[in-house]
Amino acid sequence: MEKTFLREENVCRAYGLTKNPQNVAEQRKLMRDIVKDGVSIVVIDKSNNKVVGASLNKIHVRPAPGEKTYHGKFADMSKETISRSNAEFDDYTVSTFFELCQVDCLLELTMVGLLPEYRKDANGRLIYQTVIDLGRGLATGVKTKQPVDGQELGLGQGEAFWF
């Protein structure tokens, strides 16, 4: 994500997020926390077993009145102004979505990254479609831990690895 999302995503670029190592460290913590939800997607090039992309997805449950969203809590613990501002924006967005759509739970595609050399052949579209299908499956109770190629997955819920 540091090679793609944090360097190229418009909000991250506008904030200059990668210019301060402390901001990057806080974003790493955010990424580790998000992966623990067990609904993120990792893209691996099977020809060389290289991780080439990922979609970090967060499950949000509407907080009780007076409580904060995950991003609101993250903003409170952030020491860096840029990380805090970004989390406050995300908090506002998630809170607004709950109100406008009158839902109690949502799946947020928080971050998506794909190495430049893999941004052809609709690989990005496949990531987004996979997240949409994941969300639909979660909403209807369908088993969602499924590999695209039909092989057994080795990672369990909450397990993460660096990419």
The CATH number corresponding to 5-140 among 1.10.645.10, 3.40.228.10, 3.20.20.70, 3.40.630.30 equals 3.40.630.30
Question: Average pLDDT in the 146-153 region?
Answer: 56
pLDDT at 61: 94
What value, to the nearest 5°, has the Cα angle with vertex 79 and ends 75 and 84? Answer: 30
pLDDT at 162: 34
Span 102-130, pLDDT tens digits: 999 999 998 888 888 988 888 888 889 88
What value, to the nearest 5°, has the Cα angle with vertex 134 and ends 161 and 49? Answer: 35
Span 58-77, pLDDT tens digits: 999 999 999 999 999 999 99
Task: Give the tokens for residue 155.
Answer: 């990672």
Q: What percent of the chain has pLDDT over 90?
A: 33
- What's the rounded Cα separation, in Å, for the pair 129 and 37? 19
pTM summary value: 0.79
Q: What is the DSSP string of 89-145?
A: HHHHHHHHHHHHHT-SEEEEEEEEEE-GGG-STTHHHHHHHHHHHHHHHHHHT----
Span 16-44, pLDDT tens digits: 878 888 988 998 899 889 988 888 888 88
Q: Which residue has the higher pLDDT, 34 or 144?
A: 34
Give residue limits of the domains in the chain.
5-140
Q: Do residues 58 and 34 lie in contact, with contact meaning Cβ atoms separated by under 8 Å?
A: yes
pLDDT at 163: 29
